[in-house]
Amino acid sequence: MRKLLIALMVTAGLSASTPARADVLLTPFLGVTFGGDTPDQQVNYGFSAAFLGSGMFGLEVDAAITPNFFDAGEFVDLEDSNVSTFMVNFMVAAPSQTPGIRPYASAGAGIVHARATSVGNLFDLDENKFGVNVGGGVIGQFTDRVGLRGDLRYFRNLQDSDGGDDIDLDLGGFNFWRGTLGVTFRF
């Protein structure tokens, strides 16, 4: 608890010494989906729009798609498959310094959409699930307007645990990691 308090005090002190400025960060990205329920590493791509206030806190909308997410099994050949995510996240970031490096952490919730179609339509998967994600990364600004962003996140779906009319969500069994690199445009 003491270490957390010290870290918060240092961060608050650093944020007080920076000029007030709100940033809008737009980041198209390309990356790799791996681990968890991903049979093999798969390429993903997407877009992030973040609003970071003059301090350390902000909001982010993150959308991505991983084509060919599912691997064909022994008995079923897949014609097409993908997993897409749409998340709204809360962000905590180091105060902005340009040029400079700005580490951040992000967590939020949204939709995980899974789709798979087998050859000959033997089975068809097309479902939306609520999901959560948590991660972090670094934004490196080269100029006042352009930088690079590296990001690593963990995604997991949520499921109704009691099956009744009440909403009682637990962590589901579908999960994966996503690492990305993108160009960040700051406004």
Q: Which CATH number fits domain 2-186: 3.40.50.1970, 2.40.160.20, 2.60.450.10, 3.30.429.10?
A: 2.40.160.20
Distance CA 80, CA 97 (A): 44
Tens-of-pLDDT digits for all 187 residues of the chain?
566 556 656 665 555 544 556 789 999 999 999 999 888 899 999 999 999 887 789 999 999 999 988 865 544 577 778 999 999 999 999 887 767 899 999 999 999 999 988 776 667 788 999 999 999 999 998 898 999 999 999 999 987 666 656 555 566 789 999 999 999 999 8
Can you read off the two tokens belonging to residue 28? Answer: 């198209």
Query: Could you tell me which of 159, 151, 144, 148 has the C-alpha nearest to residue 177?
Result: 151
Looking at residue 7, the DSSP 8-state letter turns out to be H
Tally of helices (H runs) and strands (E runs) in the chain: 1, 8
| Per-residue CA distances from 174 to 31, 129, 136, 137, 142 (Å) | 20, 10, 20, 23, 37
Cα 108 from chain centroid? Answer: 8
**How confident is the model at residue 10, as a pLDDT?**
62
Query: Could you tell me which of 53, 52, 56 has the C-alpha nearest to residue 13?
Result: 56
pTM: predicted TM-score of the whole model, two decimal places: 0.81
**How confident is the model at residue 177, as a pLDDT?**
97
**How confident is the model at residue 68, as a pLDDT?**
87
Distance CA 110, CA 171 (A): 13
Cα 159 from chain centroid? Answer: 19
**How confident is the model at residue 117, as a pLDDT?**
83
Can you read off the two tokens belonging to residue 81? Answer: 């498959």
**How confident is the model at residue 14, as a pLDDT?**
57
Residue 156 in contact with residue 178, Cβ under 8 Å? no
